[in-house]
Structure 1
């Protein structure tokens, strides 16, 4: 091709590009004009509505003219113009006749010592695992004499060091002010739920057996991608060993096993009702535990798809096996089961929006990615009902269920309580919109790009967009890091984001109807005063308020951003927004050119 031809070709391409830019400019101007007209029209309609509401209503009705204000005032004042003598009237004779049959009793003065004596039967309790539940007992149970907490060593940290670290959490700030010595009631039991006899020494086992009255079995491995061997040893065998400990307890009043609402939310039950009852176990528990104890990781990993079958992951499968262990071993034991849905941050108590680092493996992890400007595509159906529940409501329901189990002392039937938002649902798309709106007001200074996201319900479309919006930019950024001598990290980050999103995808693209009849009966069985203290009525949740607490909690407690530099964070977000639009236009232009080049090459090869 000669020089004039090349010049002509470039001129034509430049003219074509100018025309396209001019066309896009016209579209943008038309869009801006329409947006302005729409906003003006909306404001006019709002002002017009307020104008009509402020107009004086006509003083007529079907029965004639309405009374004026002076007549109304005179009428109501006249009702109390004459004094009423409440010491006279027929009601006195009625009350006197009803009280005549009452046997007189001497007055009784109840002292604090009498209260402590009345509740002396259940002064101790035990909780395997670290969570927010122990805060409630330390704060509210004044007669609690001892709390045993099962803690394992982790990352070269001994149990007492881990406990000190946990008690430094902001969760305990208010309690620390009210009761500075609250930690004196905590006794550490060194152990591991994945080991035989919970990894406890004989001395500790005997101490718990002789002293503990209430056991909360909460500890579990909650990761969806955990190997089936680990899931079975920690979740299934750990439950068996905890129940054996409960059997040995001489004064056991209540054993609470915390499961999950998704234990039996399997593929064949999508869209169906899941009642509060035991289901058939996916496999014999003893056989599963024996396989986990004797077979190698490689063999078990190869067998995992066949073993879990209709269960979406090893976590829910191991929980289903664990519930079968509870059903068979709960004979002659006061046991109940709590099935919470997806647990998110606290709503009210002890502080709004609190959550711990373990929450990063669930939906809170997605919010972290969005807040940092990393996650732009979320795998989920915006029209499904996402079953989320606040952590404090789950804790309140757990405590009240323990009390009810101890009160009933029914060792023949095991009550199941599902803590769910089925009666007060929120759509996944609406939740995402609320969180994004909250994100416009609550930003973090640790963000690396503009935060936005879109829900995609089709898996292959999600994977395609993930490559376009996540992995291709990640490879480019890692290449830049390689050139300037910085460590490459973006591809690994997006691999973790995709893994988490796909793991949650089964629950964000399908929904179930969880029945909570037992939970409602439990809530109605306690007094109005206790309902305020231990509130777990999901109908009382305002989702916009709750989600704003959740977003702020993720930024404050997971990203460790105290939100003191709010203005700086919002300015940074505004700058990222402008850069995002500029880079997006350039990125789309390059992708279009590459696509067009590939098509031209393909056509050239075919011709």
Structure 2
């Protein structure tokens, strides 16, 4: 059969099927809805669990979702695609997901496939809320799935870092750090103050409540979904689209995107991390393609045990945090952002005292000076506040920029072998030919265009601004060096050398002591 007439087995499977998606207003969820509508046009309905937010009704939020530029390609192919997408009012925090009796019955009678991607992705969410959103919601979803009369496949979206307390993570469900049922019960009667006090003890060797609760959720799945056609997918750090439906689409500041924005504006100039540590970033369209393929395969193969799929790029061994700064900053020289306060620069260091010194000199002092200027011209100071907010955000990912993990992708390779050549192209999740320099160019451009919504026609002006800012930085730096040389170096070279040696020894000693005692562990 020629490529032009070949039929997609996956698209055929989704024909006349109804799908239920949680987390559809999130980054992965939006991309999933778009891909299904575009590549499986004969599906029956897509039901989205949507909650009212900030005074906006569910219908209004759905309209806003579907008006996104993300759906332009799908809209051009099928202007009436919106009729297939229905919003059901609900909330994963509410009993029975907040569904009314009619909507629940609709799902029970008509739903064939479920994608559960709703979760809190805030790393340091208070434990009670993290448990409610990431663990209790899974219990509710599975209870609903057990009632569905036509259910053929369930895909639970976890994270590759659910077991980040291990260096080599297999595609399996590990025993939980604590019985989820006990923690769920405790959250029913224990007050917030006690839970917060116990959090560090409970999460133990995991860095935050996010990875901890995602691990518990997987165990809940292993216990409550034994009779369901269910699979787990574990994406790593999800980045912008690589190819579909347009390169570079991104709509949030999570993960690497926030680093790009803060560094491009000159607000973030140093981070704790190892330049040699692997940066496992996966394009969101790759993740979604695998989710759809996993749903199809689970339905047609009926696996006896719950399969786990890693959706990662670390096995390529070609992207480190050091390389990100190298190629990323190179692209930001040309894809300059508007209203930058300094030229793009970012440096990783494993030495915590060096980090605090560099942050003080490169971030806090300039922010203090700029706030002083804002006061002089009668405007409200804001840069110290922004600097503090960025600091809190980047410190939450220290653990991930300092360490590397091995995530085997054996199940993904087996899944590709089960797919036709046509479907391997239509629902591609092979990243072997991913060019990181090209992807980072796409990422920087997409961040500017889709997230910051800056006019690409203004880039020449932005480049000139960055050149002026670099010259100003160099002028001030050399001026400072000249002043120090005049006051210290020329008066006493011997004293200067002794002082430098003493400071280096002091910083190294203090860093070693604090690292050993864990003073900076969050």
TM-score of the superposed pair, with normalisation by structure 2: 0.87
Kindly report which structure 2 residues correspond to 1:465-480, keeping only aligned pairs within 5 A, or say none: 465-480=358-373
* TM superposition shift of 1:356: 1.6
Counterpart position of 2:316: 424
Kindly report which structure 2 residues correspond to 1:99-114, keeping only aligned pairs within 5 A, or say none: none
Kindly report which structure 2 residues correspond to 1:167-246, keeping only aligned pairs within 5 A, or say none: 167-246=66-145
1:446-468 deviation line (CA, Å, top 9, x unaligned) = 32321111111223321221122
Q: Distance in 2 between matches of 1:340 and 1:594?
A: 55
Q: Distance in 1 between matches of 2:454 and 2:101?
A: 44
Kindly report which structure 2 residues correspond to 1:257-406, keeping only aligned pairs within 5 A, or say none: 257-266=156-165, 269=166, 272-357=167-252, 360-406=253-299
Classify 1:529/1:501 alpha carbon distance in 2 versus 1 (closer, same or farther; 3 Å). Answer: same
* TM superposition shift of 1:142: 2.2
Counterpart position of 1:124: 18
Q: Is the Cα–Cα contact under 8 Å of residues 278 and 321 in structure 2 kept in the other structure? A: yes
* TM superposition shift of 1:585: 3.3
* TM superposition shift of 1:117: 13
Q: Distance in 1 between matches of 2:11 and 2:72?
A: 30
Counterpart position of 2:439: 546
Q: Distance in 2 between matches of 1:588 and 1:227?
A: 46
Q: Distance in 2 between matches of 1:213 and 1:120?
A: 9
Q: Is the Cα–Cα contact under 8 Å of residues 345 and 550 in structure 1 kept in the other structure? A: yes
1:185-214 deviation line (CA, Å, top 9, x unaligned) = 011111111222111112211111111100
Q: Distance in 1 between matches of 2:162 and 2:426?
A: 29
Q: Distance in 2 between matches of 1:500 and 1:281?
A: 27
1:355-412 deviation line (CA, Å, top 9, x unaligned) = 122xx132210110011111111222111111111111100000000000000123x3
Q: Is the Cα–Cα contact under 8 Å of residues 122 and 214 in structure 1 kept in the other structure? A: no
Classify 1:175/1:286 alpha carbon distance in 2 versus 1 (closer, same or farther; 3 Å). Answer: same
1:457-500 deviation line (CA, Å, top 9, x unaligned) = 22332122112211222223223323332112111111111112
Q: Is the Cα–Cα contact under 8 Å of residues 192 and 199 in structure 1 kept in the other structure? A: yes
Kindly report which structure 2 residues correspond to 1:457-536, keeping only aligned pairs within 5 A, or say none: 457-536=350-429
* TM superposition shift of 1:292: 2.5
Kindly report which structure 2 residues correspond to 1:19-34, keeping only aligned pairs within 5 A, or say none: none
Corresponding pairs, count: 480
Q: Is the Cα–Cα contact under 8 Å of residues 223 and 361 in structure 1 kept in the other structure? A: no
Classify 1:117/1:565 alpha carbon distance in 2 versus 1 (closer, same or farther; 3 Å). Answer: closer
Counterpart position of 1:566: 459
Q: Is the Cα–Cα contact under 8 Å of residues 367 and 551 in structure 1 kept in the other structure? A: yes
* TM superposition shift of 1:118: 7.5
Q: Distance in 2 between matches of 1:250 and 1:589?
A: 78
Secondary structure, aligned partner of 1:274: coil
Q: Is the Cα–Cα contact under 8 Å of residues 228 and 314 in structure 1 kept in the other structure? A: yes
* TM superposition shift of 1:590: 7.1
Secondary structure, aligned partner of 2:391: helix
Kindly report which structure 2 residues correspond to 1:243-262, keeping only aligned pairs within 5 A, or say none: 243-262=142-161
Q: Is the Cα–Cα contact under 8 Å of residues 384 and 427 in structure 1 kept in the other structure? A: yes
Secondary structure, aligned partner of 1:242: helix
Q: Which moved more, 1:525-534 or 1:158-167?
A: 158-167
Q: Distance in 1 between matches of 2:125 and 2:486?
A: 43
TM-score of the superposed pair, with normalisation by structure 1: 0.76
1:152-171 deviation line (CA, Å, top 9, x unaligned) = 11111111111111112111
Q: Distance in 2 between matches of 1:522 and 1:198?
A: 32
| Higher Rg of the two aligned structures | 1
* TM superposition shift of 1:595: 9.8
Q: Distance in 1 between matches of 2:11 and 2:74?
A: 25
Secondary structure, aligned partner of 2:457: coil
Secondary structure, aligned partner of 1:127: strand
Secondary structure, aligned partner of 2:454: coil
Classify 1:232/1:589 alpha carbon distance in 2 versus 1 (closer, same or farther; 3 Å). Answer: farther
Q: Distance in 2 between matches of 1:205 and 1:587?
A: 68
Q: Distance in 2 between matches of 1:200 and 1:351?
A: 34
* TM superposition shift of 1:591: 7.9
Counterpart position of 1:82: none
1:134-158 deviation line (CA, Å, top 9, x unaligned) = 0011111122111100011111111
Q: Distance in 2 between matches of 1:321 and 1:588?
A: 54
* Gapped regions of structure 2 (runs ≥ 5): 490-494, 500-522
Q: Distance in 1 between matches of 2:456 and 2:403?
A: 35
